[in-house]
Amino acid sequence: MTNTSDTWLLKVEGLTKIYGEPNENSVRLTGPLFGSNICPETDCIVACADINLELFPGEVLGVVGESGSGKSTVVRLLYFDLESTAGVAYFSRYGNGTLNILNESGQKKRYMRNHLMGMVYQNPKDGLNFRFSSGGNIAEKLLMAGNFNVGRIRERATELLEQTEVPVRRLDDSPASFSGGMQQRVQISKAIANNPPLLFLDEVTTGLDVSVQAKVLDMIRTLQQELGIAMIVVSHDLSVIRMLTDRTLVMKNGRIVEQGLTDQILQDPQHPYTQLLVSSLL
Amino acid sequence: MIPSFKKFNSRFNFAFIDENTKREIRRKLLKAICLPGYQVPYSSPEMPIARGWGTGGLHVTLSVIGKDDVFKIIDQGSDASVNACNLRDFVHRVTHCRVTFDTHAATLIQTRHRIPEEQLNDGQILVFQVPQPEPLRAVERYETKTREMHGEADYARMWVSLYEAFVRYGDIMQGAGYPVMVNGRYIMSPSPIPRWDVPNLHQSDCLYLFGAGREKRLYAIPPHTDVVPLEFDDVKFRIEQFPGIRCSLSGTGGAFMDELYNDLGHFRHVINDSDFLDKLVEHKTRPQQWSNKYLQQVLDEMNANPDLES
Amino acid sequence: MPPILDVRQYTKRFDMHVLNGKRIHALSNVSFSLEPGELVGLVGTSGSGKSTLMKSIYRTYLATSGAILYQSLRYGPIDLVRATDHQIIALRRDEITYCSQFLSVIPRVPAVDVVAESLFRQGIDRDRGQQQSRDYLDRLGLPQELWDAYPSTFSGGEQQRINVARAIIARPRLLLIDEPTASLDQRTKDVVIDMIVALKAGGTSVLCISHDRYTLDRLADRRIELQDGHVVAASEPVS
Sign of CA dihedral C198, C200, C203, C206: positive
Confidence of residue A41 (pLDDT cuts 50, 70, 90): very high
Three-state SS annotation for chain A: CCCCCCCCCEEEEEEEEEECCCCCCCCCCCECCCCECECCCCCCEEEEEEEEEEECCCCEEEEEECCCCCHHHHHHHHCCCCCCCEEEEEECCCHHHCCCHHHCCHHHHHHHHHHCEEEECCCHHHHCCCCCCHHHHHHHHHHHCCCCCHHHHHHHHHHHHHHCCCCHHHCCCCHHHCCHHHHHHHHHHHHCCCCCCEEEEECCCCCCCHHHHHHHHHHHHHHHHHHCCEEEEEECCHHHHHHHCCEEEEEECCEEEEEEEHHHHHHCCCCHHHHHHHHCCC
Domains: count for chain C = 1
pLDDT digits (tens, 9 = 90+) for C17-67: 888 889 999 999 999 999 999 999 999 999 999 999 999 999 999 999 999
Smallest Cα distance from B221 to chain A, Å: 25
Identify which has the larger pLDDT, C233 or C208.
C208
Question: What pLDDT score does C120 carry?
Answer: 85
Smallest Cα distance from A274 to chain C, Å: 10
Q: Is A256 on the interface with C (CB under 8 A)?
A: no
Instruction: Give the mean pLDDT of chain B.
Output: 92
Closest CA to C66 of C16, C15, C40, C28: C28
Contact A148, A186 (CB under 8 A): no
Question: What pLDDT score does B6 carry?
Answer: 67
- Do B80 and B189 lie in one domain? The reply is yes
Provide, as residue numbers in chain B, all residues whose Cβ is less than 8 Å from the Cβ of A149. Answer: 232-234
Domains: count for chain B = 2
- Do B128 and B265 lie in one domain? The reply is no
Smallest Cα distance from B82 to chain A, Å: 39
Q: What is the CATH number of the domain that holds C219?
A: 3.40.50.300
The pLDDT of residue B250 is above 70: yes
Question: What pLDDT score does A4 carry?
Answer: 45
- Do B110 and B185 lie in one domain? The reply is yes
Contact B84, B74 (CB under 8 A): yes
What interhelical angle do B55-64 and B19-34 show, nearest 10? 100
Establish if B42 belongs to a structural domain: yes
Residue B29 structural domain: 19-133+179-229
Pairing of strands A10-19, A45-55: antiparallel
Q: Which of A275, A276, A278 to mutate to test the interface with C (most CBs of C within 10 A)?
A: A275
Establish if B104 belongs to a structural domain: yes
Measure CA of the first residue to CA of the last residue in chain A; give whole Å: 24
Instruction: Give the mean pLDDT of chain A.
Output: 92
Q: How many CB pairs under 8 A join A and B?
A: 53
Question: What pLDDT score does B78 carry?
Answer: 95
The pLDDT of residue A6 is above 70: no
Q: What is the CATH number of the domain that holds B211?
A: 3.40.50.11310
Distance between CA A20 and CA B24 in Å, rounded?
Answer: 40
The pLDDT of residue B173 is above 80: no
Edge-to-edge strands, sheet with B180-182: B186-188, B180-182, B227-229
The pLDDT of residue C236 is above 80: no
Question: What pLDDT score does C193 carry?
Answer: 94
pLDDT digits (tens, 9 = 90+) for B51-104: 889 999 999 999 999 999 999 999 999 999 999 999 999 999 999 999 999 999
Taking an 8 Å cut-off on Cβ atoms, the answer to whether B153 and A135 are in contact is no
pLDDT digits (tens, 9 = 90+) for A119-137: 999 999 999 999 999 999 9
Taking an 8 Å cut-off on Cβ atoms, the answer to whether C107 and A214 are in contact is yes
Question: What pLDDT score does A5 carry?
Answer: 52
Measure CA of the first residue to CA of the last residue in chain B; give whole Å: 76
Establish if B10 belongs to a structural domain: no
Provide, as residue numbers in chain C, all residues whose Cβ is less than 8 Å from the Cβ of A247. Answer: 85, 89
Of the three residues B214, B229, B244, the one that is the final residue of a domain is B229
The pLDDT of residue A228 is above 50: yes
Distance between CA C96 and CA C83 in Å, rounded?
Answer: 14
Q: What is the DSSP letter of C149?
A: S
Question: What pLDDT score does C104 carry?
Answer: 74
Distance between CA A260 and CA C83 in Å, rounded?
Answer: 12
Question: What pLDDT score does B59 carry?
Answer: 97
Question: What pLDDT score does A2 carry?
Answer: 42
Residue of C nearest to A3 (CA): C121
SS3 C230: strand
Contact A135, A171 (CB under 8 A): yes
Establish if B154 belongs to a structural domain: no
| Element at A90 (helix H, strand E) | strand A86-91
Taking an 8 Å cut-off on Cβ atoms, the answer to whether A129 and B160 are in contact is yes
Question: What pLDDT score does A10 carry?
Answer: 97
Confidence of residue B132 (pLDDT cuts 50, 70, 90): very high
Identify which has the larger pLDDT, B172 or C17.
C17
- Do B223 and B287 lie in one domain? The reply is no
pLDDT digits (tens, 9 = 90+) for C63-82: 999 999 999 999 999 999 99
pLDDT digits (tens, 9 = 90+) for C104-116: 777 778 899 999 9
Provide, as residue numbers in chain A, all residues whose Cβ is less than 8 Å from the Cβ of C107. Answer: 214, 217-218, 243
Instruction: Give the mean pLDDT of chain C.
Output: 91
User: How far is CA B235 from each of CA A137, B125, B174, B240, rounded to the nearest angstrom?
Assistant: 19, 33, 13, 15
The pLDDT of residue C139 is above 70: yes
Taking an 8 Å cut-off on Cβ atoms, the answer to whether A3 and C120 are in contact is no
Contact A189, A160 (CB under 8 A): yes
Establish if B5 belongs to a structural domain: no
Residue C47 structural domain: 5-234
Measure CA of the first residue to CA of the last residue in chain C; give whole Å: 11
Q: For chain A, give every domain's residue range.
A: 117-195
The pLDDT of residue C238 is above 60: no
Confidence of residue C117 (pLDDT cuts 50, 70, 90): confident
The pLDDT of residue A207 is above 90: no
Smallest Cα distance from B229 to chain A, Å: 14
Taking an 8 Å cut-off on Cβ atoms, the answer to whether A149 and B232 are in contact is yes
Establish if B304 belongs to a structural domain: yes
Confidence of residue A227 (pLDDT cuts 50, 70, 90): confident
Question: What pLDDT score does B5 carry?
Answer: 65
Which of C60, C123, C126 lies closest to A264 in CB terms? C60
- Do B190 and B302 lie in one domain? The reply is no
pTM confidence score: 0.85
Distance between CA C38 and CA C238 in Å, rounded?
Answer: 9
Q: What is the DSSP letter of B101?
A: S
Confidence of residue A282 (pLDDT cuts 50, 70, 90): low
The pLDDT of residue B283 is above 60: yes
